[in-house]
Structure 1
Amino acid sequence: MAFMLGLGAYRTSNGPVLNAALPLSMSEMSWQLTDHRKRAVRSADWIGRSTMVFFGFTWCPDVCPTTLSDISGWLEELGPDADRLNIALISVDPDRDTPDVLAEYVANFDPRIAGLTGTPSQIAQAAEDFRVSYRKVPRDGDDYTMDHTAGVFLFYPDGRFASIIDFHEDRRFAVPKIRRALS
């Protein structure tokens, strides 16, 4: 499983991020963020339901919207079972991704997907707990983009890490992985 996590730790550009450490269990995580409805969310809030988490940002040109579209399709394929999941996009760009910006962005996808953001230190804590890598990459002028781990993390209802769906993985394996996390 560590190999798959390492394989799945791809950034949106410039090649792989070598970060093969498994995420902590939800009960060991200590992050607190704000969702797109401006409510506080803690890792402990997710224990008791299977969880699907993706790290990304709203200015992402390709990987993030593609992944969120994929997640929306998987949720549709899961049918009523999808209602048993916590589903979240955690932003790695707190400077631009406010709760209001995230609300507008996640409205383009399945309504069960929550957008989470926080201060830079709160995002850093969440990334550390999930063992996610990200960094700001300067572009022309004051513009920038974000490199980040691009896998979808799955957790069992008791908070244990279940699996990752890698961005480059054949998409037909995603729903079976999600169903296993739901069991």
Structure 2
Amino acid sequence: MPSASTSATATASPGARSASRSSIWRRFSRRCWSTTTFRNLALACAAATLAACGPAAPKFHATDLTGADYARDFALTDHSGRPRTLADYRGKVVSVFFGYTQCPDVCPTNLSTMKRVLEILGPQAARVQVLFITVDPERDTRELLAQYVPAFHPSFVGLYADPARTAETAKQFKVFYQKQPGATPQTYTVDHSAGTYVYDPQGRLRLYVRHGETAEAIAHDIQRLLEGE
């Protein structure tokens, strides 16, 4: 007959072993699920943090010049003969472009694009002023500007000055221009900067639009300025 001590140390039954393994598996599964869940949550938080710290989408298509210390004002004469400064157009978004009436391509393209911008803006176009400053004061008289500039849109304004004031204004606006000789003294062309400055309704320089930008992109940027961006 087996002794009592032998009975006490007998091997557990198959049912008991199965229950023990099931309990261990449940504890292991819970531990693995908790670890996986924690890892996924940590990765999600890290991704959210990186997204928050990443660069924000640009507000404008054009180059943002907010805070620039140049191109702040001008003192010129419009094609109606009235003295003008930037303050005269306070309350409107103002675009300023330097060109000349005999320009073969860049200037008419720019003015045509701005006409399209006003069409896109619809009723809001009344809050936009397009200014065209000539870099050819010798040939671009008040009368010629009065014919040329409003031909693109009745609200467009041509501005001019004598050669010295023109040069000073271009310098203040960091605009380059230079005569290129033609076949005769009066058939010269003028190389010049082709970008456009844009001011918000408070008269602050905000944007630089590169030549070739689409009317849709410019209208988008102007709309944001009109909304107080």
Question: Which bin holds the TM-score, normalised by the shorter protein?
Answer: 0.7 to 0.9
More strand by share: 1
The yes-or-no answer on 1:172 pairing with 2:216 is yes
Answer whether contact 1:51 1:156 (CA < 8 A) is retained: yes
Instruction: Give runs of aligned pairs for residues 111-126 of structure 1, distance below 5 A.
Output: 111-126=154-169
Corresponding pairs, count:
162
For 1:36, give the aligned amino acid.
H
Tell me, what secondary structure is at the counterpart of 2:151? coil
- Measure, in 2, the Cα distance between the counterparts of 1:32 and 1:122: 8
Aligned equivalent of 1:81, options 97, 112, 124? 124
Q: 1:51 to 1:67 in 2, by over 3 A?
A: same
Answer whether contact 2:96 2:131 (CA < 8 A) is retained: yes
CA drift at 1:180: 2.1
Answer whether contact 1:25 1:159 (CA < 8 A) is retained: no
CA drift at 1:23: 6.4
For 1:64, give the aligned amino acid.
C
Q: Greater relative contact order: 1 or 2 (C-alpha under 8 angstroms, separation 6 or more)? A: 1
Query: Which runs of no fewer than 5 residues in structure 1 stay unpaired?
Result: 6-21
- Measure, in 2, the Cα distance between the counterparts of 1:128 and 1:47: 23
Aligned equivalent of 2:179, options 136, 161, 167? 136
Between structure 1 and structure 2, the one with the greater Rg is 2
Q: Which residue of 1 is the match for residue 197 of structure 2?
A: 153
TM-score between both structures, scaled by the size of structure 1: 0.80
Aligned equivalent of 1:24, options 70, 91, 98? 70
- Measure, in 2, the Cα distance between the counterparts of 1:72 and 1:163: 18
For 1:105, give the aligned amino acid.
Y
Answer whether contact 2:121 2:219 (CA < 8 A) is retained: yes
Q: Tell me how large the CA RMSD over aligned residues is.
A: 1.9
Runs of at least 4 residues of structure 1 off by over 6 A?
none
CA drift at 1:170: 4.0
- Measure, in 2, the Cα distance between the counterparts of 1:23 and 1:61: 32
CA drift at 1:117: 0.7
For 1:38, give the aligned amino acid.
G
For 2:93, give the aligned amino acid.
S
CA drift at 1:146: 0.6
Aligned equivalent of 1:96, options 111, 114, 139? 139
Q: Which residue of 2 is the match for residue 56 of structure 1?
A: 99
CA drift at 1:182: 2.0
More helix by share: 2
CA drift at 1:70: 0.8
Q: List per-residue Cα deviations over 1:90-146 (Å, max 9, x = no partner).
A: 000000111100011013211111011110122122212222111111122212111
TM-score between both structures, scaled by the size of structure 2: 0.65
The yes-or-no answer on 1:162 pairing with 2:209 is no
